[in-house]
Structure 1
Amino acid sequence: MKRAENNIDVEKLLAESLTKAGLIDKKQLCSVVKQQQISKKSLETILVERGWVKPQTITYFKENLKNSFEQQTILEPENITINLSPKLAFRVFVTIISFLVSAGLIGSLSQRYLPDFFLRDAFAIAFDLDGEMNIPAFYSASALLFCSIILSFITYIKKNRHDSYTLYWGGLSFIFAFLSFDEIASLHERMVGPVRTALGTSGFLYFAWVIPAGIGVLIFLLVFLKFITNLNANTRNLFLIAGATFIAGAIGCELVGGYIVSVYTKQSIFYIFEVTLEELLEQLGVAIFIYGLLSHISFYTKDAFLKIQIPHRNRTYVA
């Protein structure tokens, strides 16, 4: 079927080329098309039989068409457009978050309250919301990296439009790339011991990294305040909701978690629920931020899309 379609395309191009060259006129072409419908013969066969075009002339034109097709195959990639709907993307992220948080909570509770059974501990470790180098940690790092990629795309658009806030968009892209790396490398957790020792913290400040993190958030707000206030209302509100949700989980819940660990232990049921709430808020904050970014792109470009270019394989279209 594909080969037949290609032959039809070649015949159309052959007819156009012969017409443009003045070798046949439109009246002759119409006559040939009518005979094709009756006899099912090829275009070139009918032209030769009627004596309107010589066989060597048709061969010459077909060779040129073949070369044209092959060059087009090599030089012109095929475009595939994938639509990224903000609402659909948000629903997908929320579904993934719901699964990860539920799996993490079930794993921790089963490890605490149920007798040992096949893969119980392996499942709990794989989905431990307070763990490192596991499925929730990989998802969090990937989501943050996705934010960085979208921000890079927006930065490119803003730069081409000579937007005065291009550097702020680029700065956000760098920050989220760093947060993604931090999620994998757990850099902030390595700060806990040295800061706690230096400041002698305990209780709510047991996880002492929240102190430099809080200072970092204040610096961020001071630097990006003008940028945030100049965003359109919808984007600004989504960014603020996302930021508040993320910080409530990352710093707010971490303060509560520090108090729970100081008074009880990390094995406490209270700590399990605190970690679950913390990860839920962090991941939900990132999902809201992604929704805000895609909505921002849609607002300014009327469509949010990803275009992928895939080169054709070198195929011969002429039979």
Structure 2
Amino acid sequence: MSGTVLALSGGIGGAKLALGLAQIIPGEALTVLANTGDDFEHLGLAISPDIDTLTYALAGLDNPITGWGRRDESWSFMTALRELGGEDWFQLGDRDLATHVERTRRLRAGETLSAVTEDFRRRLGIGARLLPMSDQPVRTKVLTPEGWLDFQHWFVRLRCAPAVRGLEFAGAESARPLPAILDALRDPALRAVVICPSNPLISIDPILAVPGLRHVLRECRAPVVAVSPIIGGRAVKGPTATMLADLGTPPAADAVARHYGDLLDGYVLDAADAALAPGIAARCAVAPTLMTDLASKAALARVVLDLADRIAAERRA
């Protein structure tokens, strides 16, 4: 079935499904909307971790071992920085550094983040469109027992150790969704909106915090289908399960579905969680959700789109 698809994504987990979708959706018929709540300035550079993870994955340049950064990376810059006593808690590989340097130069020259991202994806031969959630800065803050922390300081420097007591998306109230995002959601040819298996609290919620986006998503005619980032009570990677527990939510696939609430029309959960499906309000599909290679990424993408197509067909009937 033809049509366009819009995917909401954070970093590593979301990038896997985004790559799977790119295998079966031609070119710019796929739009990937990236979280920028993780963005920050470090060593004077504008760093967009989720945009970069998606860029490298879609371009076939990602590091298959770490899931972040570029493959065949070297670390001479970090070694020299460490020798000089510089801040070395956030790893910047030599190839990856070029991305941040060029992005910073162009942003300071007056270009928007979306324009820089668009140029990068074309230069790297990526067929799918890749959009930041906004050109205005939104920054995730984490409330811990010691007070508020910038996200990357909590996530990377402190390795997620402090318990999470709350989250804030600073600047969200002043942000605006890109016109291209609104156009994609209002496209009569829109087949599905896919919420990738990213952390719902720190990857998807910042996107939904941009004024107007949640409303347009709820009102769009295409089915909204999410993939659970939890398998058998555990996150495949990252702090999703721990964060949910810290905030009083069971780290379970059905809890994530309840978190998204009436935004969802469909929900894909792993076979390990099949028993939870009857308690989920959205139409469910059960499938292997652990993506270990390109074939499994594409297979999960097909399950997601098949579920969206079934929901759309039921509506028409």
TM-score w.r.t. length of structure 2: 0.27
More helix per residue = 1
TM-score when normalising by structure 1: 0.27
Whichever structure has more strand as a proportion of its residues is 2
Larger Cα-atom Rg: 1
Which protein has greater RCO, CA pairs closer than 8 Å, 6+ apart? 1
